[in-house]
Amino acid sequence: MKFYVVGYEWCPHYQNVLAMCRTAHLKHAPIVVENHDQLVEKVNSLLKSWKKVGQPAETSPQIVLHTQGQAICIPGEDAFKETTFYRQYYIKH
């Protein structure tokens, strides 16, 4: 399983998701982009050749989880907080 967080370094939502990952001890790969075009391009490259589950958004951050041949799209901080994936790890720690 690989877990990516793509966003703008200055974005408070991106920083919040990274902090949540650290608190929950989730191994993740932060990816900083400079602008909207780079964000969309990077997310699309992470989805390429994977069966996409969910729909990415065009805002920071975007979370992509690669697991079992699927790329699961989590479109932002609020959506991430609601995932079973996050809650299961957060509660354990």
| Domain boundaries defined on the chain | 2-92
Q: What is the pLDDT of residues 1-30, one digit of tens each?
A: 899 999 999 999 999 999 999 988 888 999
Domain covering 2-92, topology: Glutaredoxin (3.40.30)
Please provide the average confidence, as pLDDT, over all residues in the chain.
Answer: 90
Amino acid of residue 88: Q
- Rounded mean pLDDT, 36-55: 95
Local structure of 33: helix, strand or coil: coil
The pair phi, psi for residue 3, each rounded to 5°, is: -130, 120
- Which pLDDT value is given to residue 19? 94
The C-alpha atoms of residue 65 and residue 74 are separated, in whole angstroms, by 8
